[in-house]
Every structure is written in C-alpha cells, then in structure tokens.
Amino acid sequence: MKIAVCIKRTPDSESRFKVGASATGVDETGLKFDMDDFASYAVEVALQTNEKQGPGEVVAVAVGADNVQETLRKAMSMGADRAIQLKADAPVFDGLAVAKALAAELKSGAFDLIFFGKYAFDSSASIVGTATAELLGVPCVTAASKLEIANGRGTARREIEGAGEMVEFPLPAVVTIDEGIARPRYPSLKGIMAAKKKLLETKPAQLGPLRVTVKSMELPAERPPGRIIGQGAAAVPELVRLLQDEAKVL
C-alpha cells in the first residue's frame, strides 16, 4: 500500500505570541516550531496502517520554506520512508492554493491513502485536506477518530455532536485525522539517525494565484481583572446572577 501524509510545521501552541512587524503574521522570534499536533496523529495513523497492511511506502509531504525540512525529517525519524518538500518561501494562507500544490504532486503518485490532520492549530481552516481530495477526485472523510482498512475499502468513525457515526469509502481516499486516534510514537534515536540518510526531495510548490491573504492580525483584548464579589455561601446568589446575566455562561 502506498500512503502519503501531508504535514504542517506550526509554532508550539503554548508559546506567547506577538504580532510581527508587518501586522499580518506572528513574530517568529524565539518561537519553537514543531510538527502540528494533528499532523503528528496523521503520521502515526499512516505508519500504523502501513505496518498492518504489510510492506508498503509512507511518503511525508509538506508545503513550506526550507525550515519545513526539519519537520519532514521528524516524520522520517518516526518511520516515513521518504519526504517531499514543496517549496514556498513565504507562508501561504490560501488553503486552496496549498491544496493545488499538493494535488499537483500527489496525482501521479498512485497513493491508496492520503492522510492529513483535521486542521492545523495555527490557521484552524480545515480546508487543505478536503480541497486536495476534491482536486484529486477521490472521496474524503474528515476528522476520523478510528480507521480500519480492508479489501480496498475503509471504515472510519467520526465524532459528531452527541453521537458517533461510522462511514465507509473506497480507496483511494483522503482521510483527515482527529486527535485521540493514536498516540504519536517517539522518534527513536536510531530513527533520528536513519532519517538523515532517507530521501528528501525539494520541488517548487505549484500554488497558482493566492486569492486569500491575511490583511491584518491582532491579539485578543486583554482580559479584565477578576473581582471578588463576596465570601462564603452568601455570595453564591450574586455569583450565579453575574454568571447568567453578565458572563452569560450559565
């Protein structure tokens, strides 16, 4: 089985973010970047699927500047066989353009399965996986929390509001991966050394026109300071009233 997994490099979500000088993106000074959490679940699912289905190939693919190579090598240190960087020097916000670049690369690869994270933490757009599936003309299952592959077909579970649903689909297909499906493995130390010897190709990203761009970025307003409204049981009615009327959380 031939599997592609498309990954994104994002900043550590626990960082303190600042808006950059251009006011259209975050200031990357001092930020620690790593594979996006959802992408790491997707890599784990790709590796486990490959292990279950017998010897095949897992190819990690990413659109980005040269620093994305470190993220691709991480995927290879986890076990992906090779990697492809689709080079784009500036960050691309237009998810459809990213999908076009990925589809242009993936269409000739004869992949049985293409995995994505359900979205990336930094943009939370959920576009690239579904748009890639559409451009490739293959079925797409989003936010899978379980996945079984057998006899050229897949079965996936999706968590929806108050319920779970099971879906079936033929391969080839795109599946975007929800958290909790599998704990990403640690890159073993031997894996890290082996990744340096695996093939990492760099090709220009065929993005086409970028029709959606970030106009400006701003941090959320400072939270007002907390206040003490009283003490003991006597304060409860007032607390409930404020939570209902002011904070509107009850």
Per CB under 8 A, residues contacting other proteins are 34, 70, 73-74, 77, 186-193, 196
Comparing CB distances to other proteins, the nearer of 78 and 174 is: 78
Comparing CB distances to other proteins, the nearer of 228 and 234 is: 228
Give CA–CA dist 60/114, Å, rounded.
10
Comparing CB distances to other proteins, the nearer of 48 and 130 is: 48
Candidates 162, 134, 191, 152; CA nearest to 116 is: 134
**Please, what is the minimum distance in Å from the beta carbon of residue 177 to other proteins?**
19
**Please, what is the minimum distance in Å from the beta carbon of residue 197 to other proteins?**
11
Give CA–CA dist 100/116, Å, rounded.
15
**Please, what is the minimum distance in Å from the beta carbon of residue 185 to other proteins?**
9
Comparing CB distances to other proteins, the nearer of 153 and 196 is: 196
**Please, what is the minimum distance in Å from the beta carbon of residue 213 to other proteins?**
31
**Please, what is the minimum distance in Å from the beta carbon of residue 69 to other proteins?**
9
**Please, what is the minimum distance in Å from the beta carbon of residue 191 to other proteins?**
8
Comparing CB distances to other proteins, the nearer of 73 and 157 is: 73
